[in-house]
Amino acid sequence: MSQTNFSPLVDEIIEGMDDLKASNITVLDLQNIENSICSFFVIAEGTSNTQVKAISDSVEKRVRTELKEKPWHIEGLENAEWILMDYVDTVVHIFQPETRKFYDLESLWGDAELHHIEAH
């Protein structure tokens, strides 16, 4: 998968998502937004609780294997409608489609630079 010039962490997160066929992968670059909570949001979708959880597991394993990093915090594993993985400077959001539509992070962070990632 070809990447733009994100951080190595963002690139590995995207690869981990792509490995499990996540859809609608989007990177929000927040680096130029004053008072942003982190540098990047990486957002993707899975079609079921099982796929959302599997994507989360894939991201965590890939980042741990390739970069020796672990998430600082993970939320949402119980119902897997929205799993948030906090890597401090990069936050991963894995949604089911309806939940993503409801929270609409892309609009909420409308000043961010959006990058839509083409899946393999």
CB 19 within 8 A of CB 120: no
Q: How far apart are CA 112 and CA 109, in angstroms?
A: 6
| pLDDT at residue 4, rounded to an integer | 56
Residue-wise pLDDT for 56-107, tens only, equals 999 999 999 999 999 999 999 998 899 999 999 999 999 999 999 999 999 9
CB 69 within 8 A of CB 16: no
Domains and CATH numbers, the chain: 8-116 (3.30.460.10)
Picking from 49, 59, 35, the residue whose alpha carbon sits closest to that of residue 81 is 49
- For the residues 1-5, what does the mean pLDDT come to? 52
| pLDDT at residue 120, rounded to an integer | 62
| pLDDT at residue 1, rounded to an integer | 43
Reported as a pLDDT band with limits 50, 70 and 90, residue 2 is very low
Residue 82: is it exposed, middle or buried by C-beta count within 10 angstroms (0-12/13-18/19+)? middle
